[in-house]
Structure 1
Amino acid sequence: MLSLPDFQEKQLLFVQAEWGKPSSLRIYNDNIVFEKEKKVINRVSLQRVFAVFICGDLSLTTSFLRKTKEHGVSVFLLKHNFEMYADLSAAAEGHYLLREKQYSLSPEHQLSMARPLIVNKVENQMALLKLKKNIKKNRDLCQKIEGWKREATTADSLESLLGLEGTISRYYFSEQFRDMKWRRRAPRTREDITNLLMDMGYTFLFHLVDAILRLHGFDTYKGFYHQLFFQRKSLACDLVEPFRCIIDKQIVKSHNLGQIKETDFIFKNGSFEFAPAKRAEYATIFMQCLMDRKEEIFTYIQGFYRHVMDPSKHAFPYYQFG
């Protein structure tokens, strides 16, 4: 199992392939080498990489596939809209004791974990709102959210918890992205630039969380808050919740810094997409903000692992965003 000191040295790698320019990834002297039109564009030590995100079409050598698996490097293959269509993830598949405990969680225990998970998410959302300029309006909104949060701490079912989370998120999003012409959260529709950016940032966050969970030995299809659904990695869906604030804050920060420009996007067939030359630029923004918080994410998941293994000794983890 990967330790925190080892993880601290790791980084995320994003590779953008260009249409019409044959590209490849291969291993040379334990370095990942990116070539375009048979010219070396960049290289990085295999020892320092935790995950590789590949956007577009390129060639992967068999040595690349073998070495990444041997070194526990997860590889994610993405379409140009950043939807993942395949992954080659490193995993500790043989941790049967952990999975036995994971599969045998009672409904009561699952609910007892879901409550602090959502309360944690809500408290991080409130922390972001308190940073906004409109202090009085946000104070009133936070008081309203505080009431719903108290209800979440005593929710008697996952369904009621889902309802409270949805209500809180609607109010939170409308204020958090107020200066960005916010209408609504519409996942995967890309109906506006903000939703497109959220989809991108949440995608990277989701796969990072999923990769860390799998290295600990979890079956990421078996969640405790999001229940079983065909081909949905419910556990990864669960544990991204406290960390969504990282992406939300970065989007607002990039907007305030003028990094988000309408000319960087194309409106086509009823939805927005990135201009081809700008995909890597925005991917770098989100990857850097996740790299800045990677140790916190790893420590949280490590705490979750310990809780599942021995809930009497280890409390459910908490992520304090600040």
Structure 2
Amino acid sequence: MIDITDFSKKQMIFIFPLRGDKLSFKNDNVIVKDKDGKIKHQSTCYRLFVIFIVGDITITSGIIRRAKKFGFSICMMTQSMKLYEIIGSRMEGNTELRKKQYEYNSIDLGKNIIINKISNQRIALNKIRNKNEYTKEVIKKLDEHKLKLKSRDFELTELLGVEGSAARIYFSQIYNKVDWKGRKPRIKYDYINTTLDIGYNLLFNIIDSILQVYGFDVYYGVLHKCFYMRKSLVCDIMEPFRPIIDLKIRKSINLGQCKKEDFEFINNQWLLNFKKSTEYVSFFMEAILEYREEIFKYIQGYYRCFMKQKYAEEFPVFKLK
């Protein structure tokens, strides 16, 4: 099983193929060729952790065998960066881990995940320069939400209610310099919500890939209820890491990297112009890769604690820098 030393040397590659592009291999190297056979990209299989392919491409059967042999995954995504298939390396036979997953029936881990998330939301708001009085008040309210969660036991619906309350006041301030009308996932209500969906989707896919390395049943979570074809555990694990994306978007708006003009309004949805996809993936991956080791260590620690059936308080905590 991969460890942090190996993981830190691994590469995550994004490919945005054009019509006629082909993914193949040569001498233990992954190669992307255009329709004329010209090499556009080449990477050694020994250093690959995951390849994300955004759009349509031709894949040879040989590259699938290499993915299994060298232990990397190929994540297939639509042009809107929605994951629809993972090919290659994944550990599906960790039956002891999955047995422990299915037997776990406490809300304690879920509560700790939410407390960790609110802590990082607080850190994100504290990074804002020249905070106004309302932002300072929201930071105090987030502290109150954390204390409330720590003070007693909660039912799942109550826990999610506290999380939702914290999220509403947090988002109102993390995007207080723009015309923010609320978080509305997946309906692409405005360009900021669409950008959040893109960033969260990239973070989701990376966490999904690492969880599958350890053999987790990613459909079985501790906070999000099991629902048909929803990767509930991935949704759980990414919660404390969401502020990485939130903060990056705020900075990118301030720097002019993320702007309304990059999007098109089609069928009542704000969609990113595909020509801008590489730029957006680049600044999101810059933020995510800054925390790549922390993300890996968190999941590694989560795995070890789950296997040893430790108390919720002993599970890992992620802290935003």
The interval holding the TM-score normalised by the smaller chain is over 0.9
What amino acid does structure 2 have at the position aligned with 1:283? V
**1:158-307 pair list within 5 angstroms:** 158-307=156-305
Q: Is the 8 A contact 1:121 1:241 kept in 2?
A: yes
In the alignment, is residue 52 of structure 1 matched against residue 51 of structure 2? Answer: yes
- The residue type equivalent to 1:251 in the other structure is I
Counterparts of 1:17 and 1:309, CA distance in 2: 40
The equivalent of 2:7 in structure 1 is 7
Return 5+ residue gaps in structure 2 as ranges.
none
Distance across 2 between alignment mates of 1:186 and 1:74: 31
| Alpha-carbon distance between aligned partners in 1 of 2:227 and 2:88, rounded to the nearest angstrom | 21
- Compute the displacement of 1:99 (Å): 1.3
Any idea what SS the aligned residue of 1:240 has?
A: helix
Residue 134 of structure 1 is matched in structure 2 by 131
| Gap runs ≥5 in structure 1 | none
For 2:96, the aligned partner's letter is: L
Could you tell me which of 130, 133, 142 is aligned with 1:145?
142
Cα gap change, 1:244 to 1:89, in 2 (>3 Å): farther
1:117 maps to 113
Deviation at 1:135, TM superposition (A): 4.3
Residue identity opposite 2:250 in structure 1: V
Mapped contact 2:73–2:89 kept (Cα < 8 A): yes
In the TM superposition, residue 260 of structure 1 has moved relative to its aligned partner by 1.5
Letter in 1 for 2:3: S
Aligned-partner residue type, residue 137 of structure 1: Y
Aligned-residue offset at 1:288: 2.1
Query: What's the Cα RMSD here?
Result: 1.5
Amino acid at match of 1:225: L
TM (norm. structure 2) is: 0.95
Q: CA deviation at 1:7?
A: 0.2
TM-score by length of 1: 0.94
Aligned length: 317
Is the partner of 1:127 in helix, strand or coil?
helix
